[in-house]
Amino acid sequence: MVRTFCGSRGPHRWPAAVAVFVCHFAAAAFAAESEQVDHAAALDQCNRELSECRSGASTSSARLHGHSTPPPWPEGYGKLLKFPFGMSDMKALKEFARVLWQPDGTAATIHDEVTDRGFARRLNARCTSEMVGVHPVGGPGVRWSAQLWGDAQDWCLSQPECTGIMLYVGKHTLNCHHWCGRPQFCNGEIRGEDGTEPSAEWNLFVRASQPAS
């Protein structure tokens, strides 16, 4: 089987396989030429955009350099901040801040041997009969105050089984966060050293009227 192939020299008769090959080759050459044209157009577009970008950057740079010198820094800028209240001693500053935060002092500053509600102080001691989970007054992060201390004593006096109050006086930051403003209570008999145990971080206040044995 043969086919006619039309070229510049007139019609020629070619075998079918040769004609197909020639047609495919011609189509591929045409596609490659079209692709080159597309690439060239894209390159021209990129070059135009690059020129516009450079032109804009030059204009912005010229505008920037046309400004006058920047304003001076504010007076005192760059100097170290002064210590609050004129205190350069950090320890003294912390103590002063503590006084501002706790104007009524802390549990550690209670100096009454016996409070006005009849609770006797025992330094560095805890009771052995803690009312576990019973915290009707204060809470974690609560600031110590005279009002809180009064409420704790009043609550204990209102409970027949309450025999004492434990107050945290330690200096451990995390423990203080949880317990400095949250008293613990006792419900067991406290007679002399009986019913107590030593503790460097707690003070115990024993209720005057103990429940009958």
List pLDDT tens digits, range 67-103: 567 778 777 766 656 666 666 677 776 766 666 666 6
- The residue written with tokens 């690439």 in the block is 39
- Please state the separation of Cα 198 from the chain's center in Å: 38
Global pTM reads 0.54
- pLDDT of 90 reads 74
3-state class (DSSP) for residue 122: strand
pLDDT tier at 166 (50, 70, 90 boundaries)?
Answer: very high
**What is the three-class DSSP state of 186?**
strand
User: Measured between alpha carbons, how far is residue 183 from residues 1, 67, 88, 140, 199 in Å?
Assistant: 110, 67, 35, 10, 15
With left for phi above 0 and alpha for psi between -120 and 50, is residue 118 left, alpha or beta?
Answer: left
Q: What pLDDT, in 10s, does the model give residues 41-74?
A: 777 787 788 777 777 655 555 555 555 677 787 7
Residue (of 139, 140, 134) closest to 156 by Cα position: 134
Q: How many CB atoms lie within 10 A of CB 181?
A: 22
- Domains of the chain, earliest start first: 114-207 (3.50.4)
